[in-house]
Amino acid sequence: MFKLNFHISADQFSTKNLNLEEEVYGFLELQFGEQTYGFCPKEPIAAEGNDLLSTWFDQLTEVCVLLKAYPIILINDITSYNSWLQIQRQRRGILVIDQIISLKKSGSRSILTEPISDAEQGQINNAEVIEDEFRQEIMASAKEFLSALNDIDEKYMDTEWVKRISDNMSSFQ
């Protein structure tokens, strides 16, 4: 089972001078069966989330596209230079997810398509998910995220990062 939960922090939209090109913050949680990565409160809380939802959705939708061509993909946890989620096709239709911690900085890219050689295991270990379920959950959540942004201000749909997410979603279809 794979589930993606997110909550947009409303505090960032309270100003009249809303900068649409800025990242959108909130909470993000990825559930791989019994293993959980990140945090998303069940009920909205006053605290502003520190996850860059716009970047997470950009990366996760790109992973869905890259899975067509690559058997292994690593996405950088945007809050840490050395924490990565490794998504690897184990066998037909099954992905294995691991969190890995690189022992040295592994470049400046946020997505890699080759394993990191100098790394140790993190908190997520050998979480198996069905590939179609993984992709469908990411795409459904990205669609919900973009819809919520459109409800806040439809001009978000013209930003570069929303266009990248939309392009990734179109490429996946």
> Minimal CA–CA distance to 145: which of 87, 59, 77?
59
Query: Under DSSP, is residue 18 helix (H, G, I), strand (E, B) or coil?
Result: coil
pLDDT tens-digit readout, 3-26: 999 988 876 665 555 666 677 888
Distance CA 35, CA 119 (A): 20
Number of domains observed in the structure of the chain: 1
Confidence of residue 72 (pLDDT cuts 50, 70, 90): very high
Whether residue 44 has pLDDT greater than 60 = yes
Contact between 153 and 8 under an 8 Å Cβ cutoff? The reply is no
Give the amino acid at 51: D
The per-residue pLDDT for range 135-146, each reduced to its tens digit, is: 999 999 999 999
Instruction: Find the domain containing 94 and state its range.
Output: 2-172
- What gap in Å lies between CA 119 and CA 136, rounded to an integer? 30
pLDDT at 83: 92
Rounded to whole angstroms, the Cα distance separating 65 from 156 reads 23
